[in-house]
């Protein structure tokens, strides 16, 4: 029996489903990782894969980037947590403020989940209103207010909402489809006095990859401004990924509050809430919106984040990864009629030939076929996240040769899947 299989048998006895996050579950069992470097991830059975999962988004420089690892080591020697302020928190916050157009102040937390949870609380505290508008299929982490039609994990596993969340909690969460201006208009007309915020991923990355239509984000900016509603961009995936300033810079639309995570931590746990001073100063200790955490702004995550952003600042990372992303999308389109979605270094192939522009159209794809495709690719040494409703990422460590090998493998895998 292989080592991954053996570890899986052990894991199932002590970890629920053998994993610590449901998206990692894979049939018949997931591979267990031994180590990873650059664009490659290696399992305990000695297999090598070109990695397009990249820990679900953080690793923009690839695995174990030498400069980042060096800085993390130095920091570990100096201590891993202090419970006091450090210069590193100031430096990383200054970088966020410098690059993210709408950010004037920052609060660091430990995950994207905490960031959106606190951002929603902040919006409610600031406006004194109860309700929030959320996009169908958008994922903002695994907390109660947003676990309604919440994208990848929930979607793949067929549990659109979660047990253990009282209706009282989600009754203030109003769902609208992505890219649908009329739906937002009618909700705002009906309930404007009650709505604290609209939260969305400006580019959806947890229902597959879905781009905003021309003018949609600008429309949201205008209607929220006119009605005293705060606009929250959840840029946990897109922040520092589609450009240094995230989707808000890319599309030229500034939200009131931004949530960040993933790339910002350079591979260590992180989350952040950023926004206008007038709004942010409602957080404790200055304001009445409580927010706290033992590991908030911890020096390990700050150091890893600073080192990662330094590399992004001084090298042409985005230019390189974006051109590889566009190459892979272009070549995929030339070998398949399935719908291929792409922006910069993010891409996904949907197993449907129709255009995907929201959650419902994403659901038309054949998710089972995608999993066959994903498994066929694994056997060729290519690792995509095991779900139709995730996004594939490219890192700075990926090479043209990696991409060419991947396209050849995808061509084989597509033939295998359609030949059934
Ligand atoms: C991953 C993700 C989150 C949650 O971040 P965690 O660090 O996993 O808690 C929130 N929002 C979006 C858009 C994400 O992709």
Question: Which residue matches tokens 């205008």?
Answer: 222
Atom of ligand 1 nearest to the CA of 110: 7
Which one, of 349, 376, 387, 352, lies nearest residue 366 by Cα? 352
Residues counted in the chain: 420
> Mutation test of ligand 1: which of 19, 56, 139 has the most ligand atoms closer than 8 Å to its C-beta?
139
> Mutation test of ligand 1: which of 138, 206, 259 has the most ligand atoms closer than 8 Å to its C-beta?
206
SS3 content of the chain, % helix, strand, coil (to 5): 45, 15, 40
401 CA from centroid of ligand 1 (Å): 30
Strand-strand pairing, 257-260 and 271-275 = antiparallel
Map out the domains of the chain with their CATH numbers.
Answer: 31-64+316-418 (3.90.1150.10), 66-313 (3.40.640.10)
Burial of 46 (0-12, 13-18, 19+ CB in 10 A): exposed
CA 356 to chain centre: 19
Q: Could you count the other beta carbons within 10 Å of the beta carbon of residue 157?
A: 13
Residue located nearest, by CA, to atom 6 of ligand 1: 112
Atom of ligand 1 nearest to the CA of 113: 9
Spell out which residues line ligand 1, taking CB within 6 angstroms. 111-113, 116, 139-141, 201, 205-206, 234, 236-237, 261, 271
- CA atoms of 116 and 208, how far apart (whole Å): 20
Print pLDDT tens along the chain (420 aa): 799 999 999 999 999 999 999 999 999 999 999 999 999 999 999 999 999 999 999 999 999 999 999 999 999 999 999 999 999 999 999 999 999 999 999 999 999 999 999 999 999 999 999 999 999 999 999 988 888 777 665 544 444 468 888 888 888 999 999 999 999 999 999 998 999 999 999 999 999 999 999 999 999 999 999 999 999 999 999 999 999 999 999 999 999 999 999 999 999 999 999 999 999 999 999 999 999 999 999 999 999 999 999 999 999 999 999 999 999 999 999 999 999 999 999 999 999 999 999 999 999 999 999 999 999 999 999 999 999 999 999 999 999 999 999 999 999 999 999 775
Under a CB-based contact definition with an 8 Å cutoff, are residues 202 and 212 in contact?
Answer: yes
Strand-strand pairing, 33-37 and 40-43 = antiparallel
Which one, of 68, 51, 5, lies nearest residue 386 by Cα? 51
């Amino acid at each position: 029996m292989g080592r991954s299989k053996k570890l899986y048998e052990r894991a199932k006895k002590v970890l629920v489903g053998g994993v610590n996050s449901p998206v990692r579950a894979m049939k018949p069992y997931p591979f267990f990782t031994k180590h990873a470097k650059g664009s490659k991830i290696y399992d305990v059975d000695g297999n090598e894969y070109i990695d397009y999962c990249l820990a679900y988004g953080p690793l923009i420089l690839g695995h174990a980037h030498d400069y980042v690892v060096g800085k993390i080591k130095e920091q570990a020697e100096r201590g891993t947590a202090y419970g006091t302020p450090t210069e590193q928190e100031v430096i990383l916050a200054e970088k966020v403020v410098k690059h993210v157009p709408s950010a004037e102040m920052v609060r660091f937390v430990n995950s994207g989940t905490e960031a959106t949870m606190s951002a929603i609380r902040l919006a409610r505290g600031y406006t004194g209103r109860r309700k929030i508008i959320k996009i169908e299929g958008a994922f903002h982490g695994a907390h109660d207010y947003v676990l309604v039609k919440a994208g990848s994990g929930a979607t793949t596993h067929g549990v659109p909402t979660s047990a253990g969340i009282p209706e009282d909690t989600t009754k203030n969460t109003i769902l609208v489809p992505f890219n649908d201006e009329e739906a937002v208009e009618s909700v705002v007309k009906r309930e404007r006095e009650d709505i604290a915020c609209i939260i969305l991923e400006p580019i959806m990355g947890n229902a597959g990859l879905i781009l905003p239509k021309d003018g949609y984000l600008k429309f949201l900016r205008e209607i929220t401004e006119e009605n005293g509603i705060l606009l929250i961009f959840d840029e946990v995936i897109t922040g520092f990924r589609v450009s240094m300033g995230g989707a808000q810079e890319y599309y030229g639309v500034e939200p009131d509050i931004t949530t960040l995570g993933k790339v910002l931590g350079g591979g260590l746990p992180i989350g952040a809430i950023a926004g206008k001073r007038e709004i942010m100063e409602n957080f404790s200790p200055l304001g009445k919106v409580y927010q706290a955490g033992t590991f908030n702004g911890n020096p390990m995550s700050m150091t890893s984040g600073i080192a990662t952003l330094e590399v992004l600042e001084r090298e042409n990372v985005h230019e390189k990864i974006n051109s590889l992303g566009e190459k892979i999308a272009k070549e995929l389109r030339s070998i398949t009629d399935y719908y291929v979605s792409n922006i910069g270094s993010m891409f996904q192939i949907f197993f449907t030939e129709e255009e995907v522009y929201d959650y419902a159209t994403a659901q038309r794809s054949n998710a089972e076929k995608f999993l066959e495709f994903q498994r066929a690719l694994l056997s060729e040494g290519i690792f995509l996240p095991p779900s139709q409703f995730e996004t594939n990422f490219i890192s700075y460590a990926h090479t043209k040769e990696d991409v060419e090998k991947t396209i050849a493998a995808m061509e084989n895998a597509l033939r295998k899947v359609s030949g059934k």
